[in-house]
Amino acid sequence: MLSEKLMPRFSETDVLGHINNTVLPVWFEAARVPIFKIFTPDLNPHQWKLIVAKVEVLFKGELFYGQEVEIKTAIEHIGNSSFVIVQQAWQHGECCAEGKTVMVRYDFAAKRSRSLSEEEREPLSGFMVSSEA
């Protein structure tokens, strides 16, 4: 499992002083960078090989400004051309949000999905956890 810590910014709060619900997908995407590097090590957008097929976020508790948040990231499932990333946002020892993202290995020239190679599957499988991550 990958782990990244971040400090929420004031601009990410809502009128109630909580982290705005639109921020979690952004944090989750930023924490997926090590997985992106499996496919595009230099993160060159002209060599990109992935698309997002689905994003879900379940809000379980409040997140607050100025208090560290830990984003935990793992792989839940690897299919033929897609894989599921599970993520959690933790603050003060409590899981405050959970997310799932379906990523698809994509051939932009052919405009269709492409099977994951063994060279891609092997490092992905190193981040596998059960769905109870």
Q: End-to-end alpha-carbon separation of the chain, Å?
A: 9
Residues 6+ apart with CB under 8 A from 111: none
Q: Confirm whether 132 is domain-assigned.
A: no
Residue 78 has pLDDT above 70, yes or no: yes
Which CATH number covers residue 34? 3.10.129.10
Q: Give the structural domain span for 107.
A: 2-125
Give the pLDDT confidence of 32-62 residue by residue, as tens digits: 999 999 999 999 999 999 999 999 999 999 9
Radius of gyration, alpha carbons of the chain: 16
pLDDT for the residue 15: 84
Q: Confirm whether 133 is domain-assigned.
A: no
pLDDT for the residue 98: 98
Counted domains in the chain: 1
pLDDT for the residue 133: 42
Give the pLDDT confidence of 7-40 residue by residue, as tens digits: 999 999 988 888 999 999 999 999 999 999 999 9
Q: Identify the CA nearest to 13 among candidates 64, 53, 47, 48.
A: 64
Q: Give the helix/strand (H/E) hosting 82.
A: strand 82-91
DSSP-derived secondary structure letter, 45: G
pTM more than 0.85: yes
What's the token pair of residue 110? Answer: 């052919």
Distance CA 34, CA 30 (A): 9
